[in-house]
Chains A and B, each alone.
Chain A
C-alpha cells in the first residue's frame, strides 16, 4: 500500500518532500527503543514512534524503513529534519497516540492483507 494513501486515511502531516509519499509500505512496527527497532523492524515497514532525536533517521536508513510517523503531536529536532531530508526518509506527524495510530493502521493493512 502507498504511504500517500495511509497518510490520507490517518490524516498524517508530512514534514518532508511529498515525493517521498509515493513509497510502498510493507507493514508497520511500533517502538521507542532503538535497539528493538534495529533488531525487529522489517524492511519497508512504517515506523510509529515517540522518539524525535536524530538517531531515528539512522535506524530508518539502516533498516530500509519506508517512513517514520511521530505520534502525540511531538516535533522532531531540527537536525532530525535535516538528516531525514538528506537521507530521503519521510517523516510524518500525528497528534494521536501510538495505540490509536497503530490500531487504525492495523485495520487498514489487514484489509490489504499486509502484516506488521
Chain B
C-alpha cells in the first residue's frame, strides 16, 4: 500500500517524513510490545502502536521499519520526534484506536507480516 494511502485512510497527521508519498509499504504490524515487533516484523512495513515513545522509534530503526503510526492521537515528546527525524522514519499520528486503524488498512488490502 502506498504511503499516501495509509495517511489518507488513517486521517493521519504527518510529524516527520523524508519519504516519497508514492513509496510502497508492504506489511503491517500492530502491537504495543517491542519484542513482538522484533520477532514478527519484516523490513519495509508500517508499525501501528499505542506506545508513543522513543522505544517505538528505536525498535523500528533496528528492525528496518519505515513508517510508525501512533494511535489515539497520542503526541510524542520532542526526543521521540527528533529520533524519528534522525533515523528517517516516517512518523504519523492517527486519531483512531489501534482497532479502527487496523480495520481501515486491512479493509483496503494491507496484510500483516508473514511468518
| B98 x A103 contact (CB < 8 A) | no
Contact count band on A? 20 to 34
Interface residues in B, total, Cβ within 8 A = 25
Are B48 and A36 closer than 8 Å at their CB atoms? no
The answer on a CB contact under 8 Å between A31 and B98 is yes
Least CB separation from B36: chain A residue: A50
Given contacts A31-B32, A32-B32, contact A98 B102 (CB under 8 A): yes
Q: Contact: A99 with B112, CB < 8 Å?
A: yes
Binds B, one of A10-18, A55-63, A77-85, A104-112: A104-112
- Docked-complex contact A106 and B102, CB < 8 angstroms: yes
Binary flags per residue of A25-48, CB closer than 8 Å to B gives 1, else 0? 001111111001000100000001
A36 close to B105 (CB less than 8 A): no
Determine the chain A residues whose CB is within 8 A of the CB of B105 once the complex forms.
99, 103
Q: Which of B36, B51, B105, B111 has the largest number of chain A CB atoms within 10 A? A: B36
Q: Does A75 reach chain B (CB closer than 8 Å)?
A: no
B106 touches A104 (CB 8 A): yes
A72 to B39: give the CA distance in the assembly, Å.
11
Q: What are the 5 tightest A-B residue pairs by CB atom distance, in nearest-first order?
A: A106-B103, A103-B106, A102-B102, A32-B32, A116-B99
Chain A residues near B (Cβ < 8 Å): 27-33, 36, 40, 48, 50-51, 72, 97-100, 102-107, 110, 115-116
